[in-house]
């Protein structure tokens, strides 16, 4: 689940990215209403990390100035998943279910 | 005033708009800093919300922009000037006034304490013009009783201006006028400078030609003196005629003088050789001295004759020389003038070309000025249009959602909508419409779809309904919606009159009546007699109920009146009573498109509806019964 504090953190990074992009001349002031409108209309709907990743992917597709945020969040999610998988694998191995542990490990291998 | 080496006004305009304050940061850097500062103070969410509306352009920058864009003259130093009484000055004042009104509205909203009388009038007139340019709006205004129309329209306009959605609409349009990306192509004053340079050349050569023409005139006057009728001409002619004689006299006098000199010398020689001791010495001496004296007298006479003859000849020669010099001068001056005139022709051509180019640029510049004025003066009309379109879309969507919800509920209930009703509903959606493209008409701002109302069909059906009730229209619609089931009028009427179909037919009548009254109001008007007839008929009342249910804004306003105690008892009865008292207005409000209620429901909420008829109240809008209702039309 994504709590309000996390959303605020994402919003802060989005705002920082906007300011940096403006300063670097990557976006124009006239684009701000469209960007902020899109962010505000989408971010309120987000409740899970998956939704957040989906939102950030779309956001960075429309404006690549947000690409780094999407990548960072995807990385975080991947790390969370890997940690969880590792814990589950240890648990399965301890239970003697090696096959299941192997299957689990296979499931997160990149395609 | 000559113009030289001017900077492009476009560049100056941009410079004015982009002028960087003393912080040394670019506008983008300033904005980035501001965003970060705001995010740290207000949080990122509020910052993002602030970003949604385009920033109102900085007043100082806008003032610079206007100052820089409106001018009637550019001097040699590139300084622009708006001359008093020039069109540029008029346009500048218009632009400034419209800019001030827009800025104050964005800052304070509709606040008569901040907006001066002219600004209030300008803003209200702009909104009114939009409402009146919109057929629905015009029809609604026309539906208002004459006595209360002005106050009601004022209420509607102020309601619109006070609506929280109006300010962002104005802000968006206003910011768009000064959008840097939109700063339009501006006059390149190089053309003005070129013209000034060419004109300076023209002026210089004109001066030279004037001087040489003056010299030619003087020369002609002087040469004219040699005309045979003028003094010098006469003198020269006389001298010419005397020249031969004078030359002869000169030669003769010279010869005589030579002879005399010789004789004098001889006599003086004799005189020196006389012997004083000779007895005739005295006599001889006197004879010789007398002879010499006589010769000298003669010599003086001859010398005078010589001088006279020489003087004449010299004088003649001088006159001839002067005349020749004047003639040569005339030739030289004429050649010089011809050369200058040739140069002038080239310069004149260059001036004409520069003038044409400048005139074209000036015309473009004036158009630019006009465009800025028009855009600024259109801020409120454009914003009002956008506001109304959004409002109407929202209301239509809400209304459609309610209709869909009703349909879904019915579908799920045992009182399921029959296929006949579904077909009829679908058929009704487009029954009184026609494609604009069929007749090549242009789309209008209030009707972005390519459909328009079939006014003729609506009028025919409406008259039929008023004359014979909705069944008269219904059978035709049934036939149209399902020609297999209803192959002819008899089949349709038999079905309508079948008691087994009474519930469905009842709903269909309401459906038809609601749609037809709505369409009628969208394309024309309803007479007071018709309105009373509709409001007193069963199908009319049912249609009113259905229509009100689907218009949340009217319900909101009616609820307000109920809560404030103005409506006592049954709301439905109160509404029917209002419809009977002020039938045209109410039917317009209830059945008119969402547009009517978008602009008109404020009239109800403002307490402009009374329990007495508008007409009957003789123009008095409020009665004692509505003393508690608030209104601000004083």
Q: Do A30 and B180 make contact, defined as CB atoms within 8 angstroms?
A: yes
The minimum CA-CA distance between B49 and chain A, rounded to whole Å, is 7
3-state secondary structure B393-407: HHHHHHHHHHHHHHH
Q: Is pLDDT above 80 for B626?
A: no
Interface residues of chain A, partner chain B, Cβ below 8 Å: 8, 11-12, 14-16, 18-20, 22-23, 25, 28-30, 32-33, 35-37, 39-40
| Residue B53 sits at the chain A interface (C-beta within 8 Å) | yes
Intra-chain end-to-end CA distance of chain A, in Å: 26
**What is residue B432's DSSP assignment?**
T
pLDDT score for B146:
80
Judge whether B208 and B202 are in contact, CB under 8 Å. Answer: no
Least confident of A83-92, B44-53, B183-192, B228-237: B183-192
The minimum CA-CA distance between B30 and chain A, rounded to whole Å, is 8
Q: Which of B243, B248, B291 is nearest to B266 (CA)?
A: B291
Residue showing tokens 């609604």: B140
* Distance (Å, whole) CA B13 – CA B15: 5
* Distance (Å, whole) CA B625 – CA B136: 31
Q: Which residues contact B299 (CB under 8 A, 6 or more apart)?
A: B257, B260, B261, B264
| The most confident of B325-339, B459-473, B489-503, B512-526, by mean pLDDT | B325-339
**What is the chain B residue with the closest CA to A20?**
B32
Q: Do B48 and A36 make contact, defined as CB atoms within 8 angstroms?
A: yes
Give the DSSP per-residue string, B215-235.
Answer: HHHHHHHHHHTTSTTSHHHHH
| Residue B45 sits at the chain A interface (C-beta within 8 Å) | yes
Q: Do A12 and B39 make contact, defined as CB atoms within 8 angstroms?
A: yes
**What is the chain A residue with the closest CA to B182?**
A30
Count of A-B CB contacts under 8 Å: 64
Interface probe with B: pick from A9, A16, A23, A41, most Cβ of B within 10 Å? A23
B28 contacts in chain A (CB < 8 Å): 22-23, 25, 29
Judge whether B388 and B437 are in contact, CB under 8 Å. Answer: no
For A42-81, the pLDDT digits (tens) are: 888 888 888 898 999 999 999 999 999 998 888 877 777 7
Virtual torsion, Cα B91, B92, B96, B97, nearest 10 deg:
-40
* Distance (Å, whole) CA B320 – CA B243: 12
Helix (H) or strand (E) holding B131: helix B117-133
pLDDT score for B180:
59
How many Cα atoms sit within 13 Å of B395 on the Cβ side?
27
pTM: 0.55
The minimum CA-CA distance between B48 and chain A, rounded to whole Å, is 5
Q: Which of B471, B464, B439 is nearest to B452 (CA)?
A: B439
Q: How many helices (H) and strands (E) does chain A have?
A: 5, 0
Q: Which residues contact A27 (CB under 8 A, 6 or more apart)?
A: A18, A21, A35, A63, A65
Bin B109: left if φ > 0, else alpha if -120 < ψ < 50, else beta.
left
Mean pLDDT across B199-218: 94
Instruction: For residue B419, report the phi and psi dihedrals to the nearest 5 degrees.
Output: -60, -35
pLDDT score for B423:
79
Q: Which of B70, B61, B75, B55 is nearest to B5 (CA)?
A: B75
The percentage of residues in chain B with a pLDDT greater than 70, rounded to a whole number, is 83
For B512-527, the pLDDT digits (tens) are: 888 888 888 777 778 8
The minimum CA-CA distance between A31 and chain B, rounded to whole Å, is 9
ipTM value of the model? Answer: 0.81
Interface probe with A: pick from B26, B34, B51, most Cβ of A within 10 Å? B51
Q: Which of B603, B461, B589, B473 is nearest to B531 (CA)?
A: B589
Mean pLDDT across B96-118: 93
pLDDT score for B344:
94
**Helix extents (H) in A44-110:** 49-62, 67-94, 98-107
Q: What angle separates helix B379-412 from helix B146-162, to the nearest 10 degrees?
A: 90
Mean pLDDT across B21-35: 77
Chain mean position to CA B481? 53
Q: Which two tokens stand for residue A78?
A: 């991947």
Least confident of A18-32, B130-144, B199-213: B130-144
pLDDT score for B11:
40
| Residue B48 sits at the chain A interface (C-beta within 8 Å) | yes
Mean pLDDT across B147-158: 86
Judge whether B223 and B327 are in contact, CB under 8 Å. Answer: yes
Out of A15, A29, A33, the one facing B44 most closely (by C-beta) is A15
Query: Other CB atoms closer than 10 Å to residue B292's CB: what's the count?
Result: 19
Helix (H) or strand (E) holding B73: strand B73-74
3-state secondary structure of B298: helix
| Residue B28 sits at the chain A interface (C-beta within 8 Å) | yes
pLDDT score for B618:
26
Q: Which of B340, B320, B28, B371 is nearest to B178 (CA)?
A: B371
Residue B617's pLDDT band, with cuts at 50, 70 and 90, is very low
Q: Do A15 and B36 make contact, defined as CB atoms within 8 angstroms?
A: yes
**What is the chain B residue with the closest CA to A18?**
B32
Q: Is pLDDT above 50 for B66?
A: yes
Least confident of A24-38, B423-437, B442-456, B522-536: B442-456
pLDDT score for B75:
60
Q: Which residues contact B147 (CB under 8 A, 6 or more apart)?
A: B614, B615, B617, B618, B619, B620
Q: Which of B614, B620, B623, B628 is nearest to B581 (CA)?
A: B614
B179 contacts in chain A (CB < 8 Å): 30
Mean per-residue pLDDT of chain B: 80
The minimum CA-CA distance between A85 and chain B, rounded to whole Å, is 34
Mean pLDDT across A103-110: 70
Identify which has the larger pLDDT, B362 or B488: B488
| Residue B44 sits at the chain A interface (C-beta within 8 Å) | yes
B56 contacts in chain A (CB < 8 Å): none
Q: Is pLDDT above 90 for B583?
A: no
* Distance (Å, whole) CA A71 – CA A64: 11
Q: Which of B226, B572, B460, B114 is nearest to B123 (CA)?
A: B114
Mean pLDDT across B547-575: 77
| The most confident of B29-33, B333-337, B607-611, by mean pLDDT | B333-337
Q: Do A39 and B48 make contact, defined as CB atoms within 8 angstroms?
A: yes
* Distance (Å, whole) CA B625 – CA B623: 5
B49 contacts in chain A (CB < 8 Å): 36, 40
pLDDT score for B380:
93
Residue showing tokens 């409020």: B622
| Residue B40 sits at the chain A interface (C-beta within 8 Å) | no
The minimum CA-CA distance between A99 and chain B, rounded to whole Å, is 48
How many Cα atoms sit within 13 Å of B484 on the Cβ side?
2
């Amino acid at each position: 689940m994504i709590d309000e504090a996390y959303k605020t953190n994402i919003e802060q990074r989005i705002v920082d990215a906007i300011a940096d992009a403006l300063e670097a001349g990557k976006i124009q002031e006239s684009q701000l209403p469209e960007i902020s409108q899109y962010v505000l209309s989408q971010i309120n709907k987000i409740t899970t990390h998956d939704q957040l990743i989906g939102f950030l992917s779309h956001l960075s597709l429309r404006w690549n100035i947000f690409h780094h945020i999407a990548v960072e969040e995807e990385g975080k999610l991947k790390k969370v998943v890997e940690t969880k998988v590792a814990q589950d694998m240890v648990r399965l191995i301890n239970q003697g279910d090696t096959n299941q542990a192997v299957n689990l490990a296979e499931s997160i291998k990149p395609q | 005033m000559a113009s030289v080496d001017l900077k492009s006004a476009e560049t100056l305009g941009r410079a004015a708009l982009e002028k960087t304050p003393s912080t040394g940061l670019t506008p983008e850097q300033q904005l980035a800093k501001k965003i970060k500062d705001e995010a740290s103070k207000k949080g990122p969410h509020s910052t993002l919300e602030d970003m949604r509306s385009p920033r109102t352009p900085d007043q100082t920058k806008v003032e610079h922009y206007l100052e820089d864009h409106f001018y009637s003259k550019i001097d040699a130093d590139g300084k622009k000037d708006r001359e008093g009484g020039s069109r540029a000055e008029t346009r500048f004042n218009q632009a400034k006034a419209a800019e001030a009104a827009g800025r104050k509205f964005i800052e304070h909203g509709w606040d008569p304490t901040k907006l001066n009388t002219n600004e209030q009038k300008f803003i209200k007139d702009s909104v009114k013009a939009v409402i009146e340019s919109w057929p629905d709006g015009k029809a609604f205004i026309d539906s208002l009783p004459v006595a209360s129309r002005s106050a009601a329209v004022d209420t509607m306009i102020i309601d619109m201006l006070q609506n929280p959605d109006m300010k962002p609409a104005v802000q968006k349009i206003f910011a768009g006028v000064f959008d840097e990306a939109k700063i339009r192509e501006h006059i390149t004053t190089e053309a003005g400078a070129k013209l000034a340079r060419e004109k300076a050349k023209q002026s210089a050569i004109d001066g030279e030609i004037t001087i040489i023409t003056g010299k030619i005139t003087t020369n002609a006057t002087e040469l004219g003196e040699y005309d045979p009728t003028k003094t010098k001409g006469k003198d020269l002619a006389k001298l010419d005629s005397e020249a031969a004689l004078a030359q002869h006299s000169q030669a003769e006098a010279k010869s005589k003088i030579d002879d005399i000199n010789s004789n004098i010398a001889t006599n003086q020689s004799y005189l020196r050789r006389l012997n004083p001791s000779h007895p005739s010495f005295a006599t001889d001496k006197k004879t010789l001295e007398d002879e010499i004296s006589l010769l000298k007298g003669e010599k003086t006479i001859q010398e005078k004759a010589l001088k006279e003859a020489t003087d004449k000849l010299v004088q003649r020669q001088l006159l001839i020389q002067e005349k020749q010099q004047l003639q040569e001068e005339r030739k030289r001056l004429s050649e010089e003038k011809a050369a200058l005139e040739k140069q002038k022709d080239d310069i004149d051509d260059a001036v004409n070309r520069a003038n044409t180019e400048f005139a074209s640029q000036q015309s473009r510049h004036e158009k630019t000025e006009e465009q800025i004025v028009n855009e600024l003066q259109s801020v409120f009309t454009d914003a009002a249009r956008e506001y109304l379109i959004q409002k109407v879309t929202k209301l239509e969507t809400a209304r459609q959602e309610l209709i869909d919800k009703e349909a879904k509920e019915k579908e799920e209930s045992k009182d399921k909508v029959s296929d006949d009703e579904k077909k009829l509903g679908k058929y009704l959606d487009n029954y009184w419409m026609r494609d604009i493209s069929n007749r090549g008409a242009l789309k209008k701002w209030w009707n972005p779809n390519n459909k328009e109302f079939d006014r003729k069909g609506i009028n025919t059906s409406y008259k039929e309904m008023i004359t014979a009730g909705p069944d008269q229209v219904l059978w035709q619609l049934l036939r149209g919606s399902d020609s297999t089931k209803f192959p002819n009028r008899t089949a349709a009427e038999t079905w309508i009159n079948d008691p087994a179909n009474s519930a469905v037919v009842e709903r269909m009548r309401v459906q038809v009546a609601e749609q037809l009254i709505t369409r009628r109001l969208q394309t024309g008007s309803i007479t007071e007699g018709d309105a009373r007839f509709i409001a007193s008929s069963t199908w009319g009342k049912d249609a009113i109920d259905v229509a009100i249910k689907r218009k949340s804004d009217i319900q909101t306003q009616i609820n307000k009146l109920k809560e404030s105690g103005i409506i006592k008892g049954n709301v439905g009865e109160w509404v029917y009573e209002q419809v009977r008292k002020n039938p045209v207005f109410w039917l317009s409000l209830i059945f008119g498109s969402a547009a009517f209620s978008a602009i008109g429901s404020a009239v109800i909420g403002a307490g402009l509806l009374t329990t007495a008829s508008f007409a009957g109240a003789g123009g008095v809008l409020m009665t004692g019964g509505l003393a508690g209702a608030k209104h601000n039309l004083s």
